[in-house]
Structure 1
């Protein structure tokens, strides 16, 4: 089973450094995907997709994203898309942590 989270960055120049930071999370796959615009937006050229076999890995990855944002002088806005809903990094961490306690919830077949 694979659990997926999409990261939509407001500043596409941050994708490379964020991707490198996430490369340190064991059990996490990081992929670049074409960005999808919200209504009224042009969209970004590229977003990041995080894939893991377990929710705890994604929680760890999002904590790394939170640390990454804290380290930036001017942090980019990052929207998290999980199970077809958008949230902030902190809200996504809370939601994934809750889903972690409910086996099978939030998981999808590859």
Structure 2
């Protein structure tokens, strides 16, 4: 609630409604947290810099490591970095990381 009250809402009620719809779509469970709000609504929460997530000379990145460590659980990775799930998906796209085939079909068994 404090994150919502702290926002200036230059778009007035439409921006608030859109932010809440976004948060509802990205939240895990029945409770919306500040991490579920769009990034522009929570200026204090800064995502890690893209350079922090990119590897220097190896194929392994902090983002990829987090995805592997959390068994490709996007929600868990988002919580770890303190960002929303769409942000994690955006970072994945920027780095060319795709979900393994067994996860993208909804079959988590790996077969």
Question: TM-score, structure 1 length as denominator?
Answer: 0.27
Question: TM-score, structure 2 length as denominator?
Answer: 0.27
Q: Which has the higher strand share?
A: 1
Q: Which has the higher helix share?
A: 2
Does 1 or 2 have the higher relative contact order (CA < 8 Å, sep 6+)? 1
